């Protein structure tokens, strides 16, 4: 069965530190998509990235970077030089072609950036 595990419930760092949020997934599908969403205190889910199962290239967007490794079924998210505005809950999610692309979510990691 498909599953997404975010083992880190809460992470607290001081501003400007780098931080990595872990995500491990399980799927039997060969075609699947991985996502990261940010949920600030306002509650809205903000899309950060989508990756398909055939593209293992790492991606960098400003201070954000993602490391997709099929060999370990992981899709980790790193924030470089963290800022207070990065404080939020971050969710990793999986969707499979065989499941109508519904999103299977991890439990989320609460990230606290202290000034």
Gap between the Cα atoms of 59 and 35, Å rounded: 13
Q: How far is the CB of 82 from other proteins (least distance, A)?
A: 22
Q: How far is the CB of 61 from other proteins (least distance, A)?
A: 13
Q: Which residues contact 103 (CB under 8 A, 6 or more apart)?
A: 35, 93, 94, 95
- Of the pair 7, 81, the CB lying nearest other proteins is at 7
Length of the chain: 115
Which residues of the shown chain bind other proteins in the complex (CB under 8 A)? 4, 33, 35, 37, 42-45, 47, 49-50, 52, 91, 93, 95, 97, 100-108
> Could you tell me the two tokens for 96?
């499979």
Q: How far is the CB of 107 from other proteins (least distance, A)?
A: 5
């Amino acid at each position: 069965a498909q599953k997404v595990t975010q083992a880190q419930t809460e992470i607290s760092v001081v501003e400007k530190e780098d931080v990595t949020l872990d995500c491990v997934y399980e799927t039997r599908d060969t075609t699947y998509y991985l996502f990261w969403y940010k949920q600030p205190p306002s509650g809205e889910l903000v899309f950060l990235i989508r990756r398909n199962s055939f593209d293992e290239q790492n991606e960098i967007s400003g201070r954000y970077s993602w490391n997709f490794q099929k060999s370990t079924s992981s899709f980790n998210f790193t924030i470089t030089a963290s800022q207070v505005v990065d404080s939020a809950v971050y969710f990793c999610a999986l969707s499979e072609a065989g499941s109508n692309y519904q999103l299977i979510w991890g439990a989320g990691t609460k990230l606290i950036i202290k000034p």
